[in-house]
Amino acid sequence: MPHIYPFADFWPFYILFSIGVGAVLFISLRTFKPESHEVSIREATVAALSWFGFALLFNVLLFFYTRWHLSAEPALAMVLGSTPDELARRTSLEFLSGYLVEKSLAVDNLFVFIVIFRFFSIAPQYQHRVLFYGLFGAILLRALFIATGAVVMEIPWVIVVFGLFLIWQGISVLRGKEPEIHPEKNRVLRALNRLLPVSKQLDGQRFFTRESGKLLVTPLFLALVFVEITDIMFAFDSVPAIFGLTREPLVVFTSNIFAVIDLRALYFLLAAFVARFHYLSTGLSFVLIFIGSKMAFLDPLLGEDVPTEISLLVVLGIIVGSILLSLVKPPAKERDAA
């Protein structure tokens, strides 16, 4: 199936987009600094809302540019079987759907960040430094995942395999078999401990320190490594899920990056409250099952993709419903205490 934005023609956009994101991150560094201070609710709110605003602005620009691009290429719109207006609207909704799914699935990362920081005894004033620098590794890793996915998703049976994988992941979460995070058992960290001399204590916000003239890595560096490891784990779910909503690699890439960027700010904003959304994991499992079923069964049976509007409404309904249910029906411990 032809793409609206084939990589061979639009590769300069990927470079310019990455440069633009880097520039905005550099500017935000002046106000949302990764230095040794505890991030306030105000700082986290400003950062989260700013990135959300950038994502919405980009989506609006994507709509108008897609309509202009297809109006200038009527043959492409004809091959895709719709009008420029309809294709632009669908592309915009696909971006919004991908952004929403990635953002929702990424909420699980918040729990993992809490575990990591507790295990390595990272004080609140140093946590943002770990998450900020971990962001660059996350962007690079997601780009590699998406580039690989864009190639393999051109093979029809791979789409079915990914769909079945997402269904299996969703059922596993429902059955309480979601993989647990145990830093003390991680093989990569064990290898680092053997290969690199590790300091027993923090040295402020430094990733490396010297003791008796010997260069050592600090627990802050180990926390950074583990943040990157967990991002790889979560990318195995999130990237195929977004490919289940759109076949446009450009939409997958941009929606994924926008969703990942402000996750660090959301951590400081929601870490204290995220445990209250105890039904969210159940809701996300149904999201994975729905997208997996769409890829493996619904799309082939219909002979075409499930309309983007329906996918967006289903995903949004499940997520909002699980959050509202969590608020209406608090955890059993809170009910007993009340």
Domain for residue 2, yes or no? no
pLDDT at res. 93: 93
User: In this structure, are residues 243 and 252 in contact, taking their beta carbons and an 8 Å threshold?
Assistant: yes
Domain for residue 199, yes or no? yes
pLDDT at res. 232: 77
pLDDT at res. 338: 47
Domain for residue 240, yes or no? yes
Domain for residue 145, yes or no? yes
Per the structure, the count of domains in the chain is 1
Domain for residue 163, yes or no? yes
What is the rounded CA–CA span in Å between residue 45 and residue 43?
A: 5
Tell me the sheet residues that pair with 198.
217
108 Cβ neighbours under 8 A, 6+ residues apart: 234, 281, 284
Domain for residue 174, yes or no? yes
CA-wise closest residue to 90 among 314, 268, 306: 306
Domain for residue 1, yes or no? no
Q: Which residue range forms the structural domain that includes residue 310?
A: 7-337
Confidence (pTM) = 0.78
Instruction: Report residues of the chain scoring pLDDT below 70.
Output: 1, 28-40, 107-109, 111, 176-190, 192-193, 269-276, 331-338
pLDDT at res. 67: 94
pLDDT at res. 210: 83
What is the rounded CA–CA span in Å between residue 157 and residue 137?
A: 31
Q: How far is CA 138 from the centre of its chain?
A: 9
Domain for residue 77, yes or no? yes
pLDDT at res. 261: 82
User: In this structure, are residues 63 and 92 in contact, taking their beta carbons and an 8 Å threshold?
Assistant: yes
What is the rounded CA–CA span in Å between residue 23 and residue 319?
A: 32
Other Cβ atoms closer than 10 A to 39? 22
